[in-house]
Amino acid sequence: MTATPGATPTIVLVGHGMVGQRFLEALGERGLTATHRVVVLCEEPRPAYDRVALTSYFSGRTPEELSMTDTEFIEAHGIELYVGDPAETIDRAARKVTARSGQVFEYDTLVLATGSYPFVPPVPGKDAEGCFVYRTIEDLLAIEAYAKAKAQVGAVVGGGLLGLEAAGALKGLGLTSHIVEFAPRLMPVQVDEGGGAALLRTIEDMGLTVHTGVGTQEIVVDEAGAVTGMKLSDGSELATDLVVFSAGVRPRDQLARDCGLTVGERGGITVDEQCRTVSDPHVFAIGECALAADGRVYGLVAPGYEQAETAAAAIAADETDQPTFTGADLSTKLKLLGVDVASFGDAHGTTEDCLDVVYSDSRAGLYKKLVIGRDGTLLGGILVGDADAYGTLRALTGSVPPVSPESLVLPAGAGSGAQLGPSALPDEAIICSCHNVSKGTIRGAVTGHSCTTVPEVKKCTKAGTGCGSCVKVLGQLVTAELEASGVEVDKGLCGCFSQTREELYEIVLALRISTYQDLLDRYGREDARGGDGCEVCKPAVGSVIASLAPSIGVSGYVLDDEQAALQDSNDHFLANLQKNGSYSVVPRIPGGEITPEGLIVIGEIARDFGLYTKITGGQRIDMFGARVEQLPLIWTRLVDAGFESGHAYGKALRTVKSCVGQTWCRYGVQDSVRMAIDLELRYRGLRSPHKLKSAVSGCARECAEAQSKDFGVIATSNGWNLYVGGNGGATPRHADLLAQDLSDAELVRLIDRFLMFYIRTADRLERTSTWLERIPGGLDHVRDVVVEDSLGICEELESLMADHVAHYADEWATTISDPEKLARFVSFVNAPDTPDPVVGFVPERDQIKPDLPLLTIGHRPLEGSAQR
């Protein structure tokens, strides 16, 4: 079949990888998708995905999440995308591309973005069963399947950036892992000897075995042809069940060679500064398959993106904006196996007459080197073990730093160590090298486009949406810019306290402060002391006191004494206020499991009090439309039937959803219902900075949606995987895997620690998702603290939780047994039997709904203003 182009010119893109996708976006941005027919031939069985983040598949990112495009984009731009259909031949004279399926496409412009292939050294046995490369999602799936089925030991050939990633992944799959590197050190391209030594030490401390200075000579196989080991150049043999080759990549230029395009001596399609092939003006090459005008093939994504923009501009023939690609920065930052490694600029000091400034502490696995030119210009550097300064230093490269170079490498605590902030950078400094965004552009986004948060700036400038290594500097810049433009970035909780919630938590815990007034009068802002506080800090402090109640010696019952006055309106009535002044009632239904009797009781109560009933999104039942004076009567019946408060009103544990699990489901591998119930009963009543939600799924099919919860648990055949920081709501976030294959006891202990650490350090109304994104070090830091106990506080966290569990009491049962508290549940203090006449209902679908009083009250009609 031949697809003939009509009057519209056709662009054919071969290869839908990261750079290909970026090229399509650039076409769209320049309006070319509207004026051209765009055909994409994609070899892999799925459209473009984030290859840079490939390894995150092993920490739970699904192939769908790695995707870099969606049907909406493809459709909106009218792109013809042929997935799983690679280009096989190019006829340049006829300007035709033939795909494997036999389809033929005529082109006006052809763009090759075929990437590269992993180089496999020609050793005997390299094709044996159990030998893999590490490039595509399919590679990862195959490695995972093989590792799970039949491997205990794995070896990676190549100790470069990708080799280390692959070795980390094998370790994550539970294999004993080896790295074999021909060069005398790890990551030979990026780091020098000193950096390699620091890296080696840290990697070995993690239980990986590193063999440097040796080559692989032969892959040893058994009778069935499966890998059993590797012969090394020093004569030794390494027993291994699985081999991953990661010995570098080579440009995929075969298609180009076959049609006579010029390629470089060592591969790569030769292009000019517009990324146009030197042989044919109708053909472009971009990304890892291209040999750029500066004679280099770039194996990183940022230069590829730049080439994509360049080619799109050249095709648009845009006179006003004609970028050229003449070379790019090879800076890299890697965080893997918990080690930071970064190199930037002239990392190896190849510039004439340059000097090194080195700080090295091999005990701590730290190595920092800066390369400085004669005139003091920062030329490049290497950071191992602590790459916090990477963003700033990379951006400073090419200029004379405002402070002495020594002070830039010394650790923060050591004498004259200077923490150079991004404010020292010039406006031209490139902050995000993935998207080529300068500091000036970011500042402009804050001042000109009134972005006030990092997510807004990301959206507006694209900065930080690539590899993510610049996000930290981005955050610092945004804050600095806001401060500079006079927006006071007061981190205090509210007008009454200059401290953050976390600081107040520490004060309350350390000094055992038991009342809000005491805290306000001693630690409040000067002019707030002695006053009545406000509606922001009262519930926040009330929550801190409630979380710590048993440990600081106060009652855990939130309606006692002064605590009653601190609670949000809902907590004060232990129910959720609705728009007409009525309340909703949500009894706890742990794990979503309920007996027929329980259902009948709820049904009878709802019928007797005329309540509207609905199954909630949290696997329980909500009864709406109760008047305040009905709450105690309703709850007396619920408590009698064994129900407890569901805390639907509180910043506290809400629900632990469950799937039916192993007991009934043919796929289940653990009893998810029992675990959900256990967790819900353990953490019920726990007051926290924001609401807490959880779920337990009985297998990886994930019917309970645990990965959208603050803490989610998924059964594995070996135990439980714990995910944290998930969120639904307006800004959904997939949870991160915190730990794998935990026993029941290990799981509970980790959750105890995680929750208490969150409660201790989060801001007011900060869900675990935002907290995890905000706190310095993110997930890694949290893992260090709660899994490795790096701060030595786990015992305290566990004991705080033990106190909570031991002192839990159902607050509705306590309330209905206290006549003085019950007296508060009236519409009118002077007419306890009179219901509030404003609370009215009208029928809808056989139940009730609020009848909103749409009267004119005071000065303005109600409609319209209610939306505020």
Residues that bind ligand FES (CB under 6 A): 432-434, 463-470
Q: Which of 86, 531, 550, 778 binds other proteins (CB under 8 A)?
A: 531
Q: Which is nearer to ligand FES, 303 or 726 (CB)?
A: 303
Cβ-contact 61, 733 below 8 angstroms: no
Stretch of 35-43, 136-144, 449-457, 534-542 lying at the interface with other proteins (CB under 8 A): 534-542
Crossing angle of helices 516-523 and 501-511, rounded to 10°:
110
Q: Which is nearer to ligand FAD, 165 or 241 (CB)?
A: 165
Q: Minimal distance in Å, beta carbon 587 to other proteins?
A: 22
Q: Minimal distance in Å, beta carbon 767 to ligand FAD?
A: 29
Which residues 6+ apart lie within 8 Å of 596 measured at CB?
none
Q: Which of 574, 617, 490 is nearest to 809 (CA)?
A: 574
Which residues 6+ apart lie within 8 Å of 333 measured at CB?
340, 341, 342, 387, 390, 467, 469
Residue tagged 């539970």 (tokens): 174
Under rule CB under 6 A, residue 306 binds ligand FAD:
no
Q: Minimal distance in Å, beta carbon 214 to ligand FAD?
A: 23
Which residues 6+ apart lie within 8 Å of 746 measured at CB?
719, 739
Q: At 603, which helix (H) or strand (E)?
A: helix 596-609
Q: Which is nearer to ligand FAD, 159 or 590 (CB)?
A: 159
Under rule CB under 8 A, residue 507 binds other proteins:
no
Burial of 546 (C-beta count, 10 Å sphere; 0-12/13-18/19+): buried
For 746, phi then psi, to 5°, come to -65, -40
Q: Which is nearer to ligand SF4, 412 or 700 (CB)?
A: 700
Residue tagged 């009090």 (tokens): 609
Under rule CB under 6 A, residue 18 binds ligand FAD:
yes
Distances (CA, A) of 668 to 60, 252, 663, 736: 19, 44, 7, 22
Stretch of 17-25, 358-366, 390-398, 579-587 lying at the interface with ligand FAD (CB under 6 A): 17-25
DSSP E strands: which ranges in 385-442? 430-432, 437-438
Residues of the shown chain interacting with ligand SRM in the complex, contacts defined by CB under 6 A: 576, 578, 584, 586, 614, 616-618, 620, 622, 648, 654-655, 691, 693, 727-730, 767
Distances (CA, A) of 767 to 280, 300, 651: 56, 35, 10
Stretch of 255-263, 362-370, 543-551, 579-587 lying at the interface with other proteins (CB under 8 A): 579-587
Cβ-contact 243, 157 below 8 angstroms: yes
Q: Minimal distance in Å, beta carbon 20 to ligand FAD?
A: 5
Q: Which of 666, 820, 842, 845 binds other proteins (CB under 8 A)?
A: 820
Stretch of 107-115, 322-330, 387-395, 693-701 lying at the interface with ligand FAD (CB under 6 A): 107-115
Q: Which two tokens stand for residue 844?
A: 């809808």
Stretch of 93-101, 218-226, 606-614, 835-843 lying at the interface with other proteins (CB under 8 A): 835-843
Under rule CB under 6 A, residue 726 binds ligand FAD:
no
- Amino acid at residue number 543: S
What is the SS3 assignment for 824-860?
Answer: CCCCCCCCCCCCCCCCCEEEECCEEEECCCCCEECCE
Q: Which two tokens stand for residue 97?
A: 């591309």
Q: Which is nearer to ligand SF4, 345 or 592 (CB)?
A: 592
Q: Minimal distance in Å, beta carbon 691 to ligand SF4?
A: 24
Q: Minimal distance in Å, beta carbon 433 to ligand FES?
A: 5
Q: Which is nearer to ligand FAD, 86 or 840 (CB)?
A: 86
Cβ-contact 661, 698 below 8 angstroms: yes
Q: Which two tokens stand for residue 155?
A: 């070896």
Q: Minimal distance in Å, beta carbon 866 to ligand SRM?
A: 14
Under rule CB under 6 A, residue 115 binds ligand FAD:
yes
* HSE-CB of 43 using CA atoms within 13 angstroms: 19
- Amino acid at residue number 759: I
Q: Which is nearer to ligand FAD, 467 or 585 (CB)?
A: 467
Euclidean distance between CA atoms 209 and 183, whole angstroms = 15
Which residues 6+ apart lie within 8 Å of 742 measured at CB?
719, 720, 721, 722, 750
Euclidean distance between CA atoms 581 and 627, whole angstroms = 8
Q: Which two tokens stand for residue 539?
A: 């519930």
State the DSSP string of 385-397: S--TTHHHHHHHT
Euclidean distance between CA atoms 257 and 522, whole angstroms = 78
Distances (CA, A) of 445 to 394, 401, 441, 474: 21, 25, 6, 11
Under rule CB under 6 A, residue 52 binds ligand FAD:
yes
Q: What is the CA radius of gyration of the chain?
A: 31
Q: Which of 83, 94, 412, 862 binds other proteins (CB under 8 A)?
A: 862
Q: Among ligand SRM, other proteins, ligand SF4, none, what binds residue 654 when CB lies within 5 to 8 Å by partner kind?
A: ligand SRM
Q: Among other proteins, ligand SF4, ligand SRM, none, what binds residue 718 when CB lies within 5 to 8 Å by partner kind?
A: none
Residue tagged 């004569």 (tokens): 235
Q: Which is nearer to ligand SRM, 207 or 610 (CB)?
A: 610
Which residues 6+ apart lie within 8 Å of 466 measured at CB?
52, 301, 302, 305, 432, 434, 435
Q: Where are the alpha helices (DSSP H) in 706-810?
A: 744-761, 768-774, 778-786, 794-807
Q: Which of 76, 403, 600, 838 binds other proteins (CB under 8 A)?
A: 838
Using Cβ positions, the residue closest to ligand FAD within the complex turns out to be 17
Q: Among ligand SF4, ligand FES, ligand FAD, none, what binds residue 432 when CB lies within 5 to 8 Å by partner kind?
A: ligand FES
Q: Which is nearer to other proteins, 565 or 681 (CB)?
A: 565
Q: Which is nearer to other proteins, 33 or 563 (CB)?
A: 563
Q: Minimal distance in Å, beta carbon 723 to ligand SF4?
A: 14
Stretch of 90-98, 107-115, 544-552, 817-825 lying at the interface with other proteins (CB under 8 A): 817-825
Q: Among ligand SF4, other proteins, ligand FAD, none, what binds residue 659 when CB lies within 5 to 8 Å by partner kind?
A: ligand SF4
Q: Which of 287, 304, 539, 591 binds other proteins (CB under 8 A)?
A: 539
Classify each residue of 26-47 as buried b or exposed e, where b means 16 or more C-beta atoms within 10 Å of its C-beta.
Answer: bbbebebbeebbbbbbbbbebb
Q: Which is nearer to ligand SF4, 177 or 694 (CB)?
A: 694
Q: Which is nearer to ligand FES, 365 or 464 (CB)?
A: 464
Under rule CB under 8 A, residue 569 binds other proteins:
yes
What residue ranges bind ligand FAD (CB under 6 A)? 14-15, 17-20, 41-44, 51-52, 54-55, 86-87, 113-115, 134-135, 162, 165, 252, 255, 287-288, 299-302, 304, 332, 467
What residue ranges bind other proteins (CB under 8 A)? 495-496, 517, 527-528, 531-535, 538-539, 561-562, 564-566, 568-570, 572-573, 577, 579-581, 820, 823-824, 827-831, 834, 836-839, 852-855, 857-860, 862, 865-866, 868
